[in-house]
Amino acid sequence: MPLVEISTVKDVFSEKERANIAGRITKLVIEAEGLEYNPLSKGVALIEFREFENFYIGGENINKDNVIIKIYTFENAFSDEVSKKLHADIVRVVSEENEKTGLKKGNNVWCINMPLACGDFSVGGNTMTIDIAKKFVSSYVEK
């Protein structure tokens, strides 16, 4: 059930870059949560791109190609070690897909974990947990 929110000023990414980044990050966050990578897990991994006219850092309008990535996932979904690897992999993906970011060696990409406590996320009014998500995703049977 990961939700990844990628925020930039307008026109940092082309549509092709967004599609490639979304596909690659989907796989990374599913694997980081310990979910099987299949159509069910892909169906619950949400990637949202948010573009703004202005972007302020330190109170100043920077309007540059900074990328802020918030990763919403269950608070117990992965360890600190997995988180560090996930962040490094996300920076690598964005750097490979976007030339401006690649030239900056990913130093313009900020990753922030947004852990969700039990009860913070539900589907259809039913509280979700990482264990429920794992059980759901593992129920997939290839046809």
What pLDDT, on the 0 to 100 scale, is given for residue 64?
80
pLDDT tens digits in sequence order for the chain, 143 residues long: 789 999 999 999 999 999 999 999 999 999 999 999 999 999 889 999 999 988 888 898 876 888 999 999 999 899 999 999 999 999 999 999 999 899 999 999 999 999 999 889 888 899 999 999 999 999 999 88
pTM above 0.95, yes or no: no
* C-alpha dihedral sign at 33, 36, 38, 41: negative
Token pair of 63 as six digits: 């309007």
Q: Would you state the pLDDT for residue 57?
A: 83
The per-residue pLDDT for 143 is 81
Query: In this predicted structure, what is the pLDDT of residue 39?
Result: 93
